[in-house]
Amino acid sequence: MRAPGTQRGALGYFKWAFIVTAAGLALGALLGWRTTGTVGGTATVFFVCAVLAVLEISLSFDNAIVNANKLKEMTPVWRHRFLTWGIVIAVFGMRIVFPLAIVAMAARIGPIEALELAATRPDEYARIMLDAHLPIAAFGGTFLMMVGLTYFFDRDKKIHWIALPERLMARSATIKGIEIAVVLGLMLGFSALLDEKDAVTFVYAAIYGLLTFLAVEVIGALLDASQETLSQAARGGVGAFLYLEVLDASFSFDGVIGAFALTQNLFVIAIGLGIGAMYVRSMTIMLVDKGALTAYRYLEHGAFYAIVILSVIMYAQTLVHIPEVITGLGGATLIGISWWSSIRFNHEEARRNGG
């Protein structure tokens, strides 16, 4: 993060993203040449890496905005840690270690064996990952749904973009736990559409997602509650860091699973999604530095609407396949509309104030 008062152009925020893009695409081309030995195969792997990067960026606009919203409350030390160590965890943990862990648990093999399976039998590796999609979607969808609904069911929320439903939800927030009741209702509704075995798996995974959200909230509240017993570095730091890491994991589920529609190669997926993750980091820093969430008052609303819709889509994907391009474009469109609405509001406000 730059010191307060300093300025840089928008492209300056993406310097490291551009460097990682060049290195990642070069590594992808090298991997393509080593695995296929042909120019056509090399070009194909290069293209898939580029498409996966675009997929990750399109799915993560809302992630960057929510990250920026949380980062502005964090202490500088923990903000720096998230933007350095956090991105390492996001790229290597969620894009490499997480899929390996899923395959290891599903196939009941060790992590080294899972890595060997990914390298030598990518088709079998991809099959196991896709078979695990239902509990992943239930867990991630529940966590994201709680993130989105908690934003809207807030009695202290004063700014409303889509006035009628947002005011209703803000007033309804006086009912304790109403967002949990909404999530449980949707959970039971979707599970009723599945066969008995899948329904049990769905409900268990969704409950774990709900408990994870509540646990992160409790830990964050405990860490931020007492100024007498916690250091300045911990307040607004450890809890927010943990929250952002779990949030990134939930956002990553869709991208990691969707990537298998393009390639079964774990290393190609890691390169492509890792490039995209660097752009999310750059967008997050730019949003915080430029105060975009303050300047564009409805931008957060668009992001949280996109999160709620993404969570419902993840639930729906347990019943029917929904292309990731629809998910990504839908979220980006909502954020674009909220940005445009913010600009209109700013123009009208300036006109009312005589300038």
**pLDDT tens for each residue of 2-31:** 544 445 666 778 888 899 899 999 999 998
Q: What is the pLDDT of residues 37-92, one digit of tens each?
A: 888 888 888 888 888 887 777 666 777 887 787 777 777 777 788 877 877 776 66
Which range in 191-205, 245-259, 266-280 is most confidently predicted, on average pLDDT? 191-205
67's tokens: 């990250």
Q: What share of residues in the chain are helix, strand, coil (percent, to 5)?
A: 80, 0, 20
More confident residue, 172 or 226: 172
| Average pLDDT in the chain | 80
Which range (13-27, 74-88, 125-139, 202-216) has the least confidence? 74-88
pLDDT at position 288 is 80
CA 186-90-201 angle, to 5 degrees, is 30
pLDDT at position 233 is 44
**DSSP assignment, residue 12?**
G
d(CA 349, CA 297): 12
The amino acid sitting at 251 is F
Q: Which of 333, 339, 331 is nearest to 296 (CA)?
A: 339
pTM of the model: 0.75
Distances in Å between the Cα of 36 and the Cα atoms of 47, 98, 115, 120 are 14, 27, 20, 14
Which range in 61-65, 329-333, 337-341 is most confidently predicted, on average pLDDT? 337-341
d(CA 298, CA 207): 31
> In 3-state terms, what secondary structure has residue 66?
helix
Maximum distance among all Cα pairs of the chain, rounded to whole angstroms: 69
How many other β-carbons are positioned within 10 Å of the β-carbon of residue 61?
Answer: 22
278's tokens: 């660097």
pLDDT at 224 > cutoff 50? yes
Phi-psi group of 202: left, alpha or beta (phi > 0 → left; psi -120 to 50 → alpha; rest → beta): alpha
> In 3-state terms, what secondary structure has residue 245?
helix
Handedness of CA 342, 344, 348, 351 (dihedral sign): positive
Give percent above pLDDT 90 in the chain: 17
262's tokens: 């393009």
Which range (284-288, 323-327, 335-339) has the least confidence? 323-327
174's tokens: 């006086």
Residue 82 near residue 71, CB atoms below 8 Å = yes
248's tokens: 């990134």
d(CA 301, CA 28): 37
Give percent above pLDDT 70 in the chain: 85
d(CA 121, CA 312): 33
Q: Distance from CA of residue 80 to its chain's centroid?
A: 19
Q: What is the pLDDT of residues 80-104, one digit of tens each?
A: 888 778 777 766 677 677 777 777 8
Residue 307 near residue 147, CB atoms below 8 Å = yes
Phi-psi group of 354: left, alpha or beta (phi > 0 → left; psi -120 to 50 → alpha; rest → beta): left
Buried (b) or exposed (e) across 258-279, using 16+ Cβ within 10 A? bbbebbbbbbbbbbbbbbbbbb
